[in-house]
Structure 1
């Protein structure tokens, strides 16, 4: 017989843990229907999302279970986006087994956590075949036109895919790491030294070349063999990217908002809504932008002679994204913007509480 979950309290939150130590924050109902998976970033932990998990359950206490991923923490985050994505996929499957009434699934990732989640959903993607639909239709005597195949993530309906300060385009050159102040010398040096962050460093600096394959982040903007990265991302009802416009020294505005530098908007003075004082721009989802498909610079290796950043933007923006631009300018916490946007630690990152509230107010379970 499987060991029963342990129930306990973490501050004001009721928590449940299984025998593997995974931590969930379930709502008030015994059978929640919507699973929200929160994924931490580099050298992070499940505790990083504790504030957001609490606020989300306060707003929607009846049908959510918020799972703060625990499988990739501390130095385990050096293991590579692919390795961590596989761990997360396995973890999500184990959580789903514990809640029999789940119907929907959403992901919220901070920084590297957004990339880990993008890999994991590629592994968890499922599509019911037309043959299965036809058979099911015949079984019930349905003579109507067969509906389109249903797409699922681990058997559940995908709803929200939300990232916060995630380096979607990687961190290689193009001022994607503001800490380097646009210095090409420092950017090149960082790429060469990416091995200091293990396999993860090579991935985010696009410095991996396993068996002659394109860098992992480049592969993750399309379906690659049995990993349906872009199909999985496409099947979510909404995709939302929160991005710091300044003072995030680790992840630049362009890479976290999936824009080229010439596409970054001019910001108005002050917030777009007084309720959210640090949100300075909100873009509704738009259709795919027009990109020229000329890839004449490609050679037999396919990925060496063209701009990898432009390729990632081209493919990712074939999907519609809602973009939320954040600025902590004028606050002392602006110098910790990378963690403040998540409210990693309430005592020192509290300025980001309105960003979390915005995310929750625009979340419909």
Structure 2
């Protein structure tokens, strides 16, 4: 009988050169929390004419970059530790297990790509039961699929910003306890897409702000590959790959047929805005564009820019691919226009026939970035917002919504998007489109199985193809 494969052990001196970086590990969660407090407390007097402005005091974004850099540095050290284990394993003359500080594990079983699933309003991680099982089957062991649980049920009422910060904290904890991660992707349904957009801005760090963490004596092959990515930044210290949303109201729900169950009736759309905060709290105000003071841009407009609250557009631009799945009809919660980030004039009648192998997926369009100065909040927008809040009428509401929607579209179309149109017109229960699109329940919403298969294959394609062939650029 042959001798067992050798087990290679580590000794503490291997990391002696990096002790200064490990000091950030013990405090990085507290530093991250302080960063969020700085963001909340700074720049209360935002510019009224433009979203691209700076504060006279120390910028909270600078603080965020500096504190996030501590986390990035620690994340890089973890990758270097992992790289050392691979080198030690390669030096072994036989296949076997490798010893780590956490015990014995098999390298091939360790995931390197974190896929975060984010549910929508009044939902929970159980909504992803079918999707999670299907993705695990199709994507394999390289993926760590994690269904977020920090914003379950009524926690989704506390506002997009509050839920986004909780999601960012949750992602950091997952990254901390999984040393082998190198990449990160997000798959979000409905309101969860807005939570994810806010969270990635909190987790974003530009590449050029972390170089100083790697000035110790280390060879080039010991530095994590993510640092050499041509992408424009990292998310939670990882290389961002896919940002995918399913029926997400990126432009809010105010306006003609943006909230389809109101049937486009002007009276219902008029009274929905003041009633929304009563039923769904701060989240309702933000979705109907009534949050904040009249002279301050509302949250969704700020999230279409890089501003004092966060680098929202830069964080999205860091992802290799951004994909929007939108229901063209029968979605009672989110309209086609807002979920696909299109103007009314950009909506054309979709094909009736599904793509081969993907039932109910009817069209895929690649939209290149459109050069723009980004969204603004001009004085007329402030006047329109005040009129819509204090003396709501159909004319005031329409004027305000048209200004805001155009500014949001201009901001988000600075990025390249892959837009996938979905139509359940031939499904047995077409009016369940909002839940069908992510198969909330395997028995009642199984019409969306083709959409889930399309999502899985798109993620697999990104994983296999070189970055230069798949990167959807941003124009900033």
Cα deviation code 1:10-57 (max 9, x no counterpart): xxxxxxxxxxxxxxxxxx954210000000000000011111111111
2:379 to 298, 317, 323: 298
> 1:212–1:29: structure 2 CA closer, same or farther, 3 Å change rule?
farther
2:329 to 224, 246, 256: 246
Structure 1 or 2, whichever has the larger Rg, is 2
- Cα distance between partner residues in 2 of 1:88 and 1:136: 28
The answer to whether the aligner puts 1:86 opposite 2:168 as a matched pair is: no
> 1:149–1:68: structure 2 CA closer, same or farther, 3 Å change rule?
closer
Check the 8 A contact 1:40/1:110 in 2, yes or no.
yes
1:178 CA drift (Å): 1.1
2:211 to 125, 128, 133: 133
Structure in which a larger fraction of residues adopt helix? 2
Check the 8 A contact 1:194/1:207 in 2, yes or no.
no
Cα deviation code 1:92-118 (max 9, x no counterpart): 000111110000000011000000000
1:160 aligns with: 242
Check the 8 A contact 2:375/2:410 in 1, yes or no.
no
1:277 CA drift (Å): 2.0
2:451 to 338, 355, 358: 355
Aligned ranges for residues 120-269 of structure 1 at < 5 Å? Answer: 120-129=199-208, 133=211, 136=214, 151-195=233-277, 196-210=279-293, 212-269=295-352
**Match of 1:345, SS?**
coil
Q: What TM-score do you get using the length of structure 2 for normalisation?
A: 0.65
- Cα distance between partner residues in 2 of 1:49 and 1:151: 29
> 1:85–1:250: structure 2 CA closer, same or farther, 3 Å change rule?
same
Check the 8 A contact 2:232/2:318 in 1, yes or no.
no
**Match of 1:284, SS?**
strand
Aligned residues: 332
1:301 CA drift (Å): 4.3
- Structure 2 gap ranges (5+): 1-106, 221-227, 386-399, 464-476
**Match of 2:165, SS?**
helix
Cα deviation code 1:165-185 (max 9, x no counterpart): 000000011320111121222
Q: What TM-score do you get using the length of structure 1 for normalisation?
A: 0.84
- Cα distance between partner residues in 1 of 2:338 and 2:375: 22
1:262 CA drift (Å): 0.8
Structure in which a larger fraction of residues adopt strand? 1
> 1:234–1:263: structure 2 CA closer, same or farther, 3 Å change rule?
same
1:278 to 337, 353, 360: 360
Check the 8 A contact 2:365/2:420 in 1, yes or no.
yes
1:333 to 408, 429, 436: 429
Check the 8 A contact 1:214/1:303 in 2, yes or no.
no
- Structure 1 gap ranges (5+): 1-27
> 1:171–1:150: structure 2 CA closer, same or farther, 3 Å change rule?
closer
> 1:100–1:181: structure 2 CA closer, same or farther, 3 Å change rule?
same
